[in-house]
Structure 1
Amino acid sequence: MPRGKQVKNRLWRWRSNPLRRRDDIVEAWIVLAVWTVFTVGGAIAGLVTAHAADEAFARQRAERHSVEAVLLHDVPRAGTAVGGATDLRTASVRWSASDGSPRTGRTPVHAGLKAGSHVTVWQNGQGHLTPAPTSSAEAAIESVFLGTTAAAALAGLVFGAGAVARWRLDRRRVDAWGREWDLVGPRWGHKTG
């Protein structure tokens, strides 16, 4: 099919035509709105989400810092694994908070360590144990993933809403055709002969 003919077929709802119905114009506006919100809204949603996630990870890296802690008890090799990692066990440790006060808590450590071993733990500004912050590379990957997910979620909602609106228009058109056929159909039903 020639390129010009293909473009004309896609834009048929916008051309003046005596057979064009009001529903065709409404559908054309719905399609235009869906694609506009998909492209512009999806890009904005993705960028805003990625930026917010990146800021949250940066704030996490700024607030958390590592400290040396001392293991209070031996960590056996057999036991309950933490987070699916087979070589980590939860154990009690003691460390000094940023104000110098002694603290104790439980944190994942490598199995097989003896009491008195030094381990690195992470704490927040209040001196509470926290998980290690996300690295810059991991944060970038996760920010991109979250931004893409936000854009895809918006796209799904927009395309879903557009599909529902077009389905309702189609139902209205089918009902209108049915009413018109009820008027015209009996005229075609007589037999000749």
Structure 2
Amino acid sequence: MNRTPPTTVTHVRLWRWRRNPLRRHSDVVEAWIVLVTWALAVLGGAVAGLAAAQTAGSAFSARQAQVHAVSAVLTDGAAATPASGSGYDDGRVWATVRWTDAHGAVHTDRAKVQPGAPAGSQVTVWTSRAGRVVSAPVTGAAADLQAALTGALVAPSAGAAVWGAGWVVRTRLIRRRMAEWDEEWKQIGPRWGNLSGGRG
């Protein structure tokens, strides 16, 4: 009577963590590598994301402390429409403005203003400590949102980097195990043929 071998293979969950005669030391090491990799990927990603968000928030606060708003006057009338090919178009135009700082020194620079504003119009511009016009700092809800988005982008990137490192280590371990199996089969294979009735 011939016995038909089973056609399905039952998958044993967490077999690397259970004692069995087929489990090798490398299997246990691989199981720990997978566990530690996932733990570090999740925790490391979360920590990196929070750190990035805090760093971005601190950078916004630091920049806000380095610039200040001043009231300036347009020296000439602003153009009615933005010049073509001027890059990012936010609907404003470049114009020359003049202001007096807290020490009484007069400064002149170019700033973005509303189109068509006549000469002598009062505008608010942001200036640096060196007396140059700079872009307005990101503050309030916009700063919080950008900091949160920075953290949200960094977190998965950091987690993926950790996971990738773990994958490399695990791949090398698998290759090493396969090489060990090949060496063992070279020794056992010929004897297996003899035990099964084959001619060696």
TM-score range, shorter chain: 0.7 to 0.9
2:142 matches 1:138? yes
Partner of 1:153: 157
Structure 2 counterparts to residues 168-183 of structure 1, below 5 A:
168-183=172-187
Going from structure 1 to structure 2, the CA distance change for 1:36 and 1:78 (only over 3 Å counts) comes to closer
- 13, 18, 22: which one aligns with 1:15: 18
Q: Aligned-pair distance for 1:95?
A: 1.0
2:69 matches 1:30? no
1:78-133 CA distance string (max 9 Å, x none): 51465522522222211112322110111222222222222210113343221111
Going from structure 1 to structure 2, the CA distance change for 1:78 and 1:90 (only over 3 Å counts) comes to closer
Partner of 1:69: 72
Going from structure 1 to structure 2, the CA distance change for 1:131 and 1:81 (only over 3 Å counts) comes to farther
- 60, 83, 88: which one aligns with 1:79: 83
Partner of 1:185: 189
In structure 1, C-alpha distance between the alignment counterparts of 2:179 and 2:186, rounded to whole Å: 11
In structure 1, C-alpha distance between the alignment counterparts of 2:120 and 2:189, rounded to whole Å: 94
Instruction: Return the index of the structure with the highest Cα Rg.
Output: 2
Give unmatched runs, 5+ long, in structure 2.
1-10
Q: Aligned-pair distance for 1:64?
A: 2.4
Going from structure 1 to structure 2, the CA distance change for 1:62 and 1:78 (only over 3 Å counts) comes to closer
2:121 matches 1:117? yes
Which of structure 1's runs of 4+ aligned residues deviate more than 3 A? 80-83, 184-187, 189-192
Going from structure 1 to structure 2, the CA distance change for 1:83 and 1:136 (only over 3 Å counts) comes to farther
Secondary structure, counterpart of 2:95 in structure 1:
strand
Which amino acid in structure 1 is aligned with residue 39 of structure 2? T
Which amino acid in structure 1 is aligned with residue 154 of structure 2? A
Give unmatched runs, 5+ long, in structure 1.
1-5
Secondary structure, counterpart of 2:120 in structure 1:
coil
Deviates more, 1:79-88 or 1:43-52: 79-88
Q: Aligned-pair distance for 1:140?
A: 0.8
Going from structure 1 to structure 2, the CA distance change for 1:99 and 1:126 (only over 3 Å counts) comes to farther
In structure 1, C-alpha distance between the alignment counterparts of 2:137 and 2:177, rounded to whole Å: 57
TM-score (norm 2): 0.80
Does the CA contact (< 8 Å) of 1:70 and 1:117 recur in 2? yes
Question: Among the aligned pairs, what percent are the same residue?
Answer: 40
Does the CA contact (< 8 Å) of 1:80 and 1:89 recur in 2? no
Q: Which of the two has greater helix per residue?
A: 1
Q: Aligned-pair distance for 1:164?
A: 0.9
In structure 2, C-alpha distance between the alignment counterparts of 1:83 and 1:142, rounded to whole Å: 23
What's the C-alpha RMSD, in Å, of the aligned pairs?
2.4
